[in-house]
């Protein structure tokens, strides 16, 4: 039994027929690695708003930059802004741009996102106040910051944080397990105060939890524990201990209990101690 065959026609099976020129162009692009774009594809279509209105786009960037902020840890390059699309339009109109030069609210939101300014909740990273001496204090820290000199100067950064409640409480973190936290954290009896210290040269982190209060004794106790676990050769090589901290009530240079404990620690180690204080309301840099 024989059957009759017929040639297959591409245009009968595909909506888009492949011409010889198209196949030759595709093979050439694959061999050379160069993508050929036709003149019609390059020069047709409507230009972006940023290209049609460069002055308004520049003003929008400046406006968004004045409202944006980043995390205090600088672990992300994403800039978060509190500026909404409606506020951006009003700000550009106040600068003299006409409505014909601007976009609608929804399109303006898309433009802000494409520029990298995403609307998010306000980040708690902005200092509450800035005293007139803030810049001078930072300059003083930069000037007095001593080099490590092969271990002769131990540069430490020390700070105590807010009290942590111990229990099945949610702190906004994420977990892969099916854990359930309490709806409220009232009636908590067990609390700890974390006090962290970082060796700026080695990057070694030391965290101590105190069970009482955030006091001067807690800070000096952390320093004494760090000195006890230090290797004997490192103790012998060390000449100066430089400590950066905020000028809080428990570590203030005018607090007698803190100064008393620091003098005792200095006598115990036999080393010179240099205290560098950050400006008020700027402990996030510590």
Place of tokens 């100064």: 259
Predicted confidence (pLDDT) per residue in 193-216, tens digit: 888 899 888 888 888 888 878 888
d(CA 224, CA 261): 10
| Count of C-beta atoms within a 10 Å radius of residue 243 | 19
Maximum average pLDDT range among 136-150, 163-177, 235-249: 235-249
Task: End-to-end CA distance of the chain: give it in Å, rounded.
Answer: 90
* 11 pLDDT higher than 50: no
pLDDT over 70, % of the chain? 76
Pairing, β 79-81 against β 68-69: antiparallel
Q: Does the pLDDT value for residue 156 go beyond 80?
A: yes
Q: Which pTM does this prediction carry?
A: 0.51
CA-based nearest residue to 169, from 179, 161, 177: 179
At residue 257, the pLDDT reads 92
Q: Which helix (H) or strand (E) holds 156?
A: strand 153-160
User: Tens digits of per-residue pLDDT, 214-266?
Assistant: 888 899 999 999 999 999 999 998 999 999 888 878 888 888 999 999 999 99
pLDDT digits (tens, 9 = 90+) for 19-59: 787 788 888 888 888 877 665 555 667 788 888 899 999 99
Ordered structural domains, the chain, with CATH:
46-119 (no CATH), 134-169+187-285 (3.30.420)
- Average pLDDT score over residue span 167-182: 74
In this predicted structure, what is the pLDDT of residue 120? 62
Better pLDDT: 121 or 218: 218
The Cα 98–Cα 177 span in angstroms is 54
Looking at every residue in the chain, the average pLDDT score rounds to 78
């Amino acid at each position: 039994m024989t059957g009759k065959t017929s040639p297959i026609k591409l245009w009968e099976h595909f909506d888009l027929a492949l011409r010889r020129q198209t196949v030759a162009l595709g093979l050439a692009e694959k061999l050379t690695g160069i993508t050929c774009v036709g003149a019609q594809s390059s020069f047709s279509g409507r230009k972006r708003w940023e290209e049609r209105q460069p002055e308004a786009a520049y003003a929008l960037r400046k406006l968004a930059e004045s409202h944006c902020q980043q995390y205090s840890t600088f672990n992300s390059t994403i800039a978060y802004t509190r500026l909404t699309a409606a506020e951006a339009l009003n700000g550009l109109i106040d600068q003299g741009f006409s409505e014909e030069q601007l976009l609608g609210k929804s399109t303006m939101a898309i433009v802000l996102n494409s520029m990298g300014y995403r609307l998010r909740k306000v980040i708690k990273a902005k200092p509450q106040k800035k005293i007139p001496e803030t810049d001078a204090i930072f300059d003083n820290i930069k000037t007095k910051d001593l080099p490590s000199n092969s271990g002769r100067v131990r540069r430490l950064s020390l700070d105590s944080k807010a009290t942590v409640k111990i229990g099945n409480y949610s702190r906004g973190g994420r977990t892969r397990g099916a854990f359930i936290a309490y709806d409220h954290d009232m009636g908590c009896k067990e609390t700890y105060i974390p006090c962290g210290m970082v060796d700026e040269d080695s990057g070694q982190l030391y965290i101590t939890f105190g069970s009482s209060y955030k006091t001067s004794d807690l800070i000096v106790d952390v320093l004494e524990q760090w000195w006890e676990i230090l290797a004997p050769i490192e103790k012998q090589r060390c000449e100066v201990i430089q400590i950066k901290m905020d000028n809080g009530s428990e570590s203030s240079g005018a607090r007698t209990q803190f100064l008393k404990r620091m003098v005792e620690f200095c006598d115990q180690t036999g080393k010179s101690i240099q205290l560098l204080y950050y400006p008020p309301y700027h402990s996030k840099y510590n």
